[in-house]
Amino acid sequence: MAVSLVNPGGLPEIDAYRQVSVASGSRLVFVAGQVAWDADGVTVGEGDLAAQVEQCYLNVGTALAGVGASFDDVAKLTVFVVDWTPEKMPLLMEGIARAAAKLEVTPVPPATLLGVAALDVPEHLVEIEATAMLD
């Protein structure tokens, strides 16, 4: 495997992700920010953060599979959430859990969560991009 996930001593252990990834492969994969569109470009879960997070993760999984990768190869995720507040964390985690169950993975690479004012389409509440490493 080209990516190893680590929680080094001296840093807090966070259930949702690992603090560090070590990439040792030879090919980088950059997945553009994925929003809650289905394959036809229709927004999934309008007004429902958990449903949109789930769809974003599924779309990242589809993009990775399209180049022979999976969440096991992801070195870093960046999550952009419109009007983020800490009260939204349970919805974010619910969406991740639902996607993980469907993908049969535990997507815990290092992640950065950023609150943003808006995304490209007003009904989009979240966008997720990924960087992966392949052998």
The residue extents of the domains of the chain are 3-134
pLDDT at 42 over 90: yes
Closest of 59, 64, 39, 66 to residue 131, by C-alpha? 64
Beta-bridge mates of residue 130: 31, 77
Condensed to tens digits (0 to 9), the pLDDT of residues 70-127 reads 999 999 999 999 999 999 999 999 999 999 999 999 878 999 999 999 999 999 999 9
| CATH superfamily placement of domain 3-134 | RutC-like (3.30.1330.40)
Q: What was the pLDDT predicted at 106?
A: 84
CA 6-97-64 angle, to 5 degrees, is: 65
pLDDT band at 15 (very low <50, low <70, confident <90, very high): confident
Number of Cβ within a 10 Å radius of residue 25:
16
